[in-house]
Amino acid sequence: MRRYLIAGNWKMNTNRDTAVSLAKSIADGSQAATGSVDVLVCPPFPYLIPVQDAASESQVTVGAQNCYFEEPGAFTGEVAAEMLADLGIQSVILGHSERRHVLGETDAIINRKVLKSLEKGLQVVLCVGELLEEREAEKTNDVLDEQMAGGLASVSAEQMANVVIAYEPVWAIGTGKTASPEQADSAHAHLRKWLESHYTSEIANGMRILYGGSVKPANAVELLSQENVDGALVGGASLTAENFVPIIEAGA
């Protein structure tokens, strides 16, 4: 069966001290649950190492929120996938809606990042999701198909073992509006079908598809109990152990 993954996206939040103490509280609080659920925290780049150190005695793994698609070289301000791998960082979030819609990343850019990250051995958490107007125009499935095809172009079946998909409806991110469990499950089922038709049923059945968008302790159990929901990508509620640990426990 698919092992749940509960991932925290800290976005551009925390400072060195609060990042370290948050990582320690999550590591302590999730000890019992990590026997049956994977936990990932994704701090801002400058705090990757302090957070990795703080979580080193635990099962909590550390990921980045982005990387660049080129080999190390003359790309001022960017961070190479190879550098993340060099630090022992295991995962990277790619295609987050804030990178798509605030920073202007296209599927083609995201795809290059996905391919480079997989080449360097990182686990990729690929985010996909529709805007409110796309949902209202009943284009959700079309948008998901396009983002899956674009983001995963040239990714081999073998490499898919290192991919996790996160369905994050843009209208539910940081807004307090959550997709209903039925809306989430139906989008996830669609994504699983896409995986079956573009890869294999084995890959589709084994793929972890996380839900993201205003997940909190109060709605986590219901969302995570849906057949096709295999974990959560959590923004705001991952910034305190009081909120994040109960979400981890809901997945255990």
CA distance 225 to 158: 28
Nearer to ligand PEP, 35 or 176 (CB): 176
**Do residues 11 and 229 touch, judged by C-beta distance below 8 A?**
no
- Print the binding letters for residues 167-186 with ligand PEP: x by CB under 6 A, - otherwise: -x----xx------------
Q: Which is nearer to ligand PEP, 97 or 117 (CB)?
A: 97
Please state, in angstroms and rounded to a whole number, the distance separating the CA atoms of residues 21 and 165. Answer: 29
Q: Taking the mean position of all CA atoms in its chain, how far away is CA 239? A: 15
Q: Which two tokens stand for residue 43?
A: 């701090």
Task: Please state, in angstroms and rounded to a whole number, the distance separating the CA atoms of residues 38 and 170.
Answer: 24
96 is catalytic: yes
Find the length of the chain: 252
Could you say whether residue 231 binds ligand PEP (CB under 6 A)? no
Please pick, among 98, 105, 168, 190, the residue that the annotation labels catalytic.
168
Q: Are 92 and 112 in contact (CB under 8 A)?
A: no
Among this protein's residues, is 190 annotated catalytic?
Answer: no
Report whether 9 belongs to an annotated binding site: yes
| Least distance CB 36 / ligand PEP (angstroms) | 22
Does 229 bind ligand PEP (CB under 6 A)? Our answer is: no
Annotated binding site for substrate: 9-11, 174, 214, 235-236
* Chain contacts with ligand PEP (rule: CB under 6 A): 9, 168, 173-174, 212-215, 233-237
Residues with a known catalytic role: 96, 168
